[in-house]
Amino acid sequence: MNNSIALKSILTKEIQRFTRIWVQTLVPPAITISLYFVIFGSLIGSRIGEMGGFDYMSFIVPGLIMMSVITNSYSNVASSFFSAKWQRNVEEMLVAPVPNWVIVAGYVGGGMCRGILVGLIVTIVSLLFVDIQLHNIWVIIATVTLTSATFALGGLINAIFAGSFDDISIIPTFILTPLTYLGGVFYSISLLPEFWQGVSQINPIVYMVNAFRYGFLGISDVSLVTAFAVIGFFIVTLFTIAMVLISKGIGLRS
């Protein structure tokens, strides 16, 4: 059995899905991010002044791109996998000799593709508002790839447990959005009182946003090694959980 063909099939299906409904999946992030730039960048940002040695607009660009990547990687897998459960077409894969790791890799790969594509769109939109500088392209690529993988895995686990469409919006609304907004997208955590700096360090998004910002601006509130270690830990943990859940057939097999 050629697993690469099975993997390619799942990946192709996932990419076809989000490109077929591009008005719902690719356009909204571009509009949302334009509003952020207009409101936080131009209107409010001009009164804030510099942050971390850069003008406010340049400072928030990496965080806004990362916010789009996180949201889209997560929601793509959560909605696609839950939809496959709901329509029962997930059974197409379950009855076939597709190893569980291929199912996980296929869906996560699909989520990463959408996350990174939206990240590129947002980056292009941001060029209309600010000149983007690059400090280390490899750090940018590594961070965006690993972060999108982390949240795609999170979306998959959410979809496995979800029993209704409401269940796939609870985590993004009540956990993901607060963590993202408190993850240093709009501010440097060094501005926070010491206690809240400590609290921020248990927020994994802080590490992702800062590593990504380092790739663009060369500044970060956390060390790169720590950031990649945290991201790596989450990827390994979430992948293991996803594999165990699918192997046991939780939410998939009766």
Nearer to another protein, 1 or 128 (CB): 1
Nearer to another protein, 20 or 135 (CB): 20
CB of 143 closer than 8 Å to CB of 211: yes
Interface contacts to another protein, rule CB under 8 A: 1-3, 5-6, 8-10, 12-13, 16-17, 20, 83-84, 87-89, 91-99, 249, 253-254
Q: Considering the complex, what minimum distance in angstroms separates the CB of residue 118 from another protein?
A: 21
Q: Considering the complex, what minimum distance in angstroms separates the CB of residue 19 from another protein?
A: 12
Whole-number Å distance between alpha carbons of 160 and 245: 8
Q: Considering the complex, what minimum distance in angstroms separates the CB of residue 105 from another protein?
A: 13
Closest Cα to residue 72, out of 34, 32, 101, 35? 32
- The DSSP annotation for 32-89 comes to HHHHHIIIIIIIIHHHH-EETTEEHHHHHHHHHHHHHHHHHHHHHHHHHHHHHHHTTT
Q: Considering the complex, what minimum distance in angstroms separates the CB of residue 27 from another protein?
A: 18
Residue whose token pair is 């469409």: 165
Q: Considering the complex, what minimum distance in angstroms separates the CB of residue 203 from another protein?
A: 36
